[in-house]
């Protein structure tokens, strides 16, 4: 995953601004750690379509907005019998990514924010169902995603401040 992000930063002329690669690596390392928790949580709540969506979002086609959008639409339609939680999150991700503009790095940022926000919905639903084990795992997942989002936002803010002072 980190290699892919470095490639996007280093070789894509459409990226609107450079970014602290180390800060970005830290953010995505935190996100990657969270995905291992999501894998377990996904098995427990029987929502493997959601797991595959998020794994594919971080594949080598992460920087292709149209690919990600089509992928989510296909995943959402392929398993109509999946949990309502899964379908809702896929729908919200589609809506969020559809409204995006700007650079590929900005897309990465919004995807992290989307995952962080919508993880809370899964957590609430699992708690309502009385599944404390799932709730515990998803709570840790939410913390990891939040840390990744904060780290990436901080690196973007640092870049902005540094450039405005020049």
Q: 128 lies in which domain range?
A: 2-8+21-160
Asked whether residue 13 is domain-assigned, the answer is no
Asked whether residue 123 is domain-assigned, the answer is yes
Asked whether residue 96 is domain-assigned, the answer is yes
Number of structural domains the chain divides into: 1
pTM score: 0.27
Asked whether residue 53 is domain-assigned, the answer is yes
Q: Give the model confidence (pLDDT) of 98-153 as tens digits.
A: 554 444 445 555 555 555 555 555 555 555 555 555 455 555 555 655 555 555 55
Question: With helix as H, strand as E and coil as C, how does the chain read?
Answer: CHHHHHHHHHHCCCCCCCCCHHHHHHHHHHHHHHHHHHHHHHHHHCCHHHHHHHHHHCCCCCCCHHHHHHHHHHHHHHCCCCCHHHHHHHHHHHHHHHCCCCCHHHHHHHHHHHHHHHHHHHHHHHHHCCCHHHHHHHHHHHHHHHHHHHHHHHHHHHHHHHHHCC
Q: Give the model confidence (pLDDT) of 18-53 as tens digits.
A: 445 555 555 555 555 455 444 444 444 444 444 455
Asked whether residue 15 is domain-assigned, the answer is no
Q: Give the model confidence (pLDDT) of 61-105 as tens digits.
A: 444 555 545 544 554 444 444 444 444 444 554 554 455 444 444
Asked whether residue 94 is domain-assigned, the answer is yes
């Amino acid at each position: 995953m980190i290699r892919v992000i470095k490639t996007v930063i280093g070789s894509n002329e459409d990226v609107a601004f450079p970014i602290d690669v180390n800060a970005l690596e830290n953010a995505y390392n935190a996100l990657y750690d969270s995905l291992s928790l999501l894998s377990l949580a996904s098995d427990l709540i029987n929502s493997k379509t959601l797991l595959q969506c998020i794994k594919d979002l971080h594949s080598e086609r992460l920087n292709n907005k149209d690919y990600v959008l089509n992928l989510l639409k296909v995943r959402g339609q392929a398993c109509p019998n999946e949990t309502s939680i899964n379908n809702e999150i896929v729908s919200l991700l589609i809506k969020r990514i559809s409204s995006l503009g700007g650079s590929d790095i900005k897309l990465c940022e919004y995807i992290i924010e989307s995952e962080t926000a919508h993880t809370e919905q899964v957590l609430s639903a699992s708690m309502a169902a009385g599944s404390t084990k799932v709730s515990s795992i998803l709570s840790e997942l939410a913390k990891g995603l939040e840390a990744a989002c904060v780290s990436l936002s901080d690196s973007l803010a640092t870049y902005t401040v540094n450039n405005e002072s020049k």
